[in-house]
A and B are shown apart, each in its own frame.
Chain A
Amino acid sequence: MAKILMKGNEAIAEAAVRAGAVNYFAYPITPQNEVGEYLARRLPEVGGVFLQAESEVAVGNMLFGAASTGKRVFTTSSSPGISLMQEAISYMAGAQLPVVLLNIMRGGPGLGGILPAQSDYFQATKGGGHGDYRLLVLAPSTIQEAVDLTMLAFHLADKYRNPVMIIGDGMIGQMMEPVEFPDSYTEPELPPKTWAATGADGRKPQVVKSLFLDPIALEKNNILLHEKYQAMKREEIRFECYKTAPKNKILLVAYGTMARICQTAIDELEGEGISVGLFRPITCFPFPEEALYAEATKSNIETVLTIEMSMGQMVEDVERVVARQRPVKFFGRTGGIVPSPEEVIQQIKQILASGQPTKVKV
């Protein structure tokens, strides 16, 4: 199929349809409204349903109900809306329900602003709701990658019977890039969903729930979930290295569109004879621990610099992984301000000169 020009929000919506997700529940919020706009037009063509709920709390519970039937279900929102869904997300993780959620992150906390941010990393990767659970978290940096990861997300949700969250800053939702959809979409076969509530004709009723009053049963469920997260760590790590070379002294770590800004900075510095590399996590959970440790502790690397559109969230994973083998520095902007390539360059030069990044002055 010919390449078309799409906004991230539209492209993700189309990718969900191609992956067979025809049950979409959502409540509008900037900057991801084009997903609903697109699906309101597109889903009737494929016999799907877009139900606009009365709130994100309702969305979460609609997802629970629809996912219980074994159908592919989907929602999209932005930071405050995702916060409202946390209870249902915890319930879905507990009940082992496959569901895909997209968070097009905006500035917080609270109502915050509507410009791009990456400040929901903690919420996405550390469990925004209660209990011992994890989401599988994917972070695209281009629109094509957003398409590919969205289609993959539905497969992974089914494979692990676990909610999968795609996180993108506002730009991933709003910017336009050329994309291509595969003419036919195939994915590895998965076992039948024998757990689904599809009508109890001729068999015992089955209940999809996260309630386990018997402490042994609840602990068993927690151990089962934990084993799934361990399996994700073994099988689902995704990351990318950019210009990591033996002469680099600094290793940048950034994800999403922030990584692209870092790439521009790296290319620019290369022209000045300064060689810097980038490590980009694509899965934020499972975090690419081994790969990052290997890159960060290469003998040439003196400093690891994490750059985010936040006050410093992923940097805690970077610190955990690097485990004081190298100094881990941080630079970030918030409020919807996106660091420019020049700012990144300035921070790198500052670190090369003095070992410390410069503080942001507003």
Chain B
Amino acid sequence: MQPEDHAFRRPAFDRRIIIIVGGYGSGKSEISVNLARQIAQNSSESVSIADLDIVNPYFRSREAAQQLEQFGVRSLVPAGPHVHADLPIIIPDIRTAIENPDGWLILDVGGDDVGARVLSSLTDAFRAGSYEMLLVLNGRRPFTADVDGAIKMITDIQDAARLRFTGIIANTHLMHETTPEIVMEGLSLARRVSQRTALPIAFVSAVPEIVSRLSSREIDLPMLELDRALVKPWEHMGNTWTDRKLRIR
């Protein structure tokens, strides 16, 4: 007899520092913001998020800083107008947070090896075994559409970051055109990458509309439900570039 579908498990981690890395536009910031919120909602420990994206000034996790504050998530971002800059500003608080962990720390890193290079300036701050470094993998992005592309991304990022990956996030999607089939196709890619690299799949991520159409029997992995925070100004009401409201259910 087939077991009944059960609810998806939430992502859970033993280590308190979670580094989110991946190709440009793979979904790192959206995952970082949602992870920070969900951990804050389910943990009594403090949660901080550091936006280390110094290569791209748009759609960054820092845009959700105010909204995350509602959940007690502290954002480590440059102060004043520098928050809008694409300058290599790494505020000292980030190093301090890595060296002296106090609760949870989510590091949202810029795209590709270029964006991950910033980590190499902090490599010595990480204690061995203190962090998870997760690759956000979207199989519908041009350079990570196959196993070889994904492995090249992993190698390039590791070389630039001087840190090793500990897992993969299966985040294949096509924005509003995502279907359960596209998620499953992406998961299959993630499984093949996992086999080749021996990196486990940490969790799968998708928006609630898709999650409700996925079977936890087929996907025996934790699921991160994404309540999209970094949306385009026309995607829903209540939005401006500088004053976004998270849609909280």
Which residues on A are within 8 Å of B, measured CB to CB?
A: 2-7, 10, 14, 30-31, 33-34, 37, 41, 113-116, 170-171, 174-178, 257, 260-261, 263-264, 268, 336-343
Contacts and interface: CB of A to CB of B under 8 A. Distances in A.
Contact of A340 (B141, B176, B177, B240): B240
Interface of B: 24-25, 55-59, 84-86, 112, 114, 138, 140-143, 145, 173-177, 232-243
23 contacts: A3-B177, A4-B145, A4-B174, A6-B25, A7-B25, A31-B56, A37-B114, A113-B84, A114-B84, A115-B58, A170-B58, A171-B232, A174-B56, A175-B59, A178-B177, A257-B232, A260-B232, A261-B234, A264-B237, A337-B241, A340-B237, A340-B240, A342-B237
Contacts of B86: 30, 114
A3 B140 contact: yes
Given A30-B86, A31-B57, A264 B234 contact: yes
A341 B58 contact: no
B173 A341 contact: no
B175 A41 contact: no
Given A115-B241, A343-B240, A261 B145 contact: no
Contacts of B238: 340, 342
B140 A338 contact: no
Nearest to B143: A41
A164 B112 CA distance: 32
B128 to A, nearest CB: 33
A341 B233 contact: yes
A340 B84 contact: no
Contacts of A115: 57-58, 84, 241
A338 B175 contact: no
B142 A14 contact: yes
Nearest to B140: A5
Nearest to B231: A175
Which of B25, B233, B237, B238 gathers the greatest number of chain A CB atoms within 10 Å? B233
Given A31-B58, A339-B240, A5 B173 contact: yes
B233 A340 contact: yes
B174 A3 contact: yes
A174 B142 contact: no
Contact of A337 (B141, B173, B174, B240): B240
A102 B76 CA distance: 35
B237 A174 contact: no
B240 A34 contact: no
Nearest to A336: B241
B239 A340 contact: yes
Given A4-B140, A4-B141, A30 B234 contact: no
Nearest to B85: A114
Which of A2, A4, A338, A340 gathers the greatest number of chain B CB atoms within 10 Å? A340
Contacts of B233: 171, 257, 261, 338-341
A4 B84 contact: no
A174 B29 CA distance: 14
Nearest to A3: B174
A5 B233 CA distance: 19
Contacts of B114: 37
Contact of A263 (B56, B174, B177, B234): B234
Contacts of B241: 115-116, 336-338
A257 B132 CA distance: 38
A164 B210 CA distance: 41
Nearest to B176: A178
Which of B142, B173, B243 gathers the greatest number of chain A CB atoms within 10 Å? B142
The 5 closest A-B pairs by CB, nearest first: A174-B58, A340-B240, A260-B234, A264-B234, A338-B241
Contacts of A10: 24-25, 142
A3 to B, nearest CB: 6
Given A4-B140, A4-B145, A14-B142, A171 B25 contact: no
A254 to B, nearest CB: 11
Given A31-B56, A264-B236, A343-B240, 19 more contacts: A3-B140, A5-B138, A5-B175, A6-B25, A6-B142, A37-B112, A114-B84, A114-B86, A115-B57, A115-B84, A174-B58, A257-B234, A264-B234, A336-B84, A337-B241, A340-B237, A340-B238, A341-B233, A342-B237
A10 B241 CA distance: 22
Contacts of A343: 240
Contacts of B56: 31, 34, 174
A115 B242 CA distance: 11
B24 A7 contact: yes
B60 to A, nearest CB: 10
A302 B152 CA distance: 59
Given A114-B84, A336-B84, A341 B143 contact: no
A77 B243 CA distance: 28
B230 to A, nearest CB: 10
A116 B240 CA distance: 12
B175 A174 contact: no
A215 B58 CA distance: 50
B84 A5 contact: no
Contacts of B174: 3-5, 178
Contacts of A174: 56, 58-59
Which of B58, B177, B242, B243 gathers the greatest number of chain A CB atoms within 10 Å? B58
Contacts of A30: 57, 86
Contacts of B142: 4, 6, 10, 14
Which of A114, A116, A178, A257 gathers the greatest number of chain B CB atoms within 10 Å? A178
